[in-house]
Structure 1
């Protein structure tokens, strides 16, 4: 009877502890979780299960790793916010699976993503023909983002968090030299001051960082 009471008490405490950790970690839909988020959640679940499985174990030994996982998550989130390169390493980058109605087979093999998965996700977005797709991005979360030819097209960012996106420049047929010349026209000589930059309607759209 005592063991049952201990398990019940631990369940109540762990419920509020895990709920608090998830709230602190931020708001994300399950389908938008990164690999790192998923690993943290699985470890928290494993630690909680261990604490409930053995009522005679030291409960503090279960809470300590949970707190450590929370600290690690906050640290990773902080560095991800500060560094685009660190964010790409931890969370990955979206992959272009389709372009102008053509399936990029090489990229699909690289991502171990098959045609059945692609066609299913296209059907889920009410897209009946691959020829109507302008761009399809496989997101790090596994979701498929699709832009149709008759809709507003995706604008490739040229600068994110102070980092020039070389591959995006190539996709719009521009060079880094051209980008620097356009920035200099707007009296910008330090790319690290730029939070976001894109090329829309034959002009650069630039948003500077609020704190630098």
Structure 2
């Protein structure tokens, strides 16, 4: 039993490392060759886990080979546009200048029902509002509304806006982030004085505290119940 547990932990750790080396992507963002690699790695890891009679190396070596192949293909696709087209395919325009391209739908085996469903997911319920719709190589649909139907932005009214950067998390679940505190040009005394305004006397009592670029502090205390 201990051997089975150890073999499972080793293979599990190896698979996690392999997926991390492949990059940070969601399942829906994977290219076809990446999805194939993930499926094969899961199968190769399952076989020696279920059968202790199979040497552990029989699962480790193929996984490493697949990982090497995946990283190599990813590197090649970064360097060569032609290779990227062969490995990943090319985007398909399903709606062009407000007109649905039936041939592209058939080519990609994409039904009108699928198209309308994806448009609703993108908060575009009326297909008449769409100027372009592009089916990306990862299967996701990019939608570009007609100019008169897109949401207005400050630039449309020639308004100048203030810079908005990323907020700094100063405290998370009672733990102080000293690095972010220094990055925000603040010190602990300032933070404690600000927390007292919320009737909080200890950092440990804070669930979340973040500082935005306008020096506005957001604070939420832990649930004391």
The count of corresponding residues between Structure 1 and Structure 2 is 149
| Larger Rg belongs to | 2
Q: For residues 48-81 of structure 1, what are the alpha-carbon distances to aligned partners after superposition, in whole Å with 9 as ceiling and x for unaligned?
A: 1111121111001110000000110111011111
Query: 2:125, 2:58 → 1: CA distance?
Result: 54
2:96 is matched with 99
Q: How far apart are the structure 2 equivalents of 1:128 and 1:56?
A: 56
- Look up the SS of the partner of 1:15 in the other structure: helix
Which residue of structure 2 aligns with residue 50 of structure 1?
47
Give the drift of 1:5. 2.0
1:143 aligned partner: 140
Q: Which runs of 5+ in 2 are unaligned?
A: 152-225
RMSD (Å), alpha carbons: 1.2
Show the 5 A alignment for 1:14-33.
Answer: 14-33=11-30
Name the CA distance, whole Å, in 2 between partners of 1:70 and 1:42. 12
The gaps in structure 1 that reach 5 residues or longer are 153-212
Q: Is the 8 A contact 1:102 1:130 kept in 2?
A: no
**TM-score of the two chains, using structure 1 as the length reference:** 0.68
Instruction: Give distance in 2, aligned partners of 1:73 and 1:138.
Output: 24
Tell me the secondary structure at the aligned position of residue 57 of structure 1.
coil
> Counterpart in 2 of 1:108?
105
What secondary structure, in the 3-state scheme, does the structure 1 residue paired with 2:125 have?
coil
Matched, 1:123 2:89: no
- For CA contacts below 8 A with separation 6 or more, give which structure has more relative contact order: 1
Matches within 5 A, 1:1-212: 4-150=1-147, 151=150
Runs of 4+ deviating beyond 3 Å: none
TM-score, structure 2 length as denominator?
Answer: 0.64
Between the aligned partners of 2:82 and 2:70, the Cα distance in structure 1 is 17
Partners of 1:71 and 1:88 lie apart in 2 by: 20
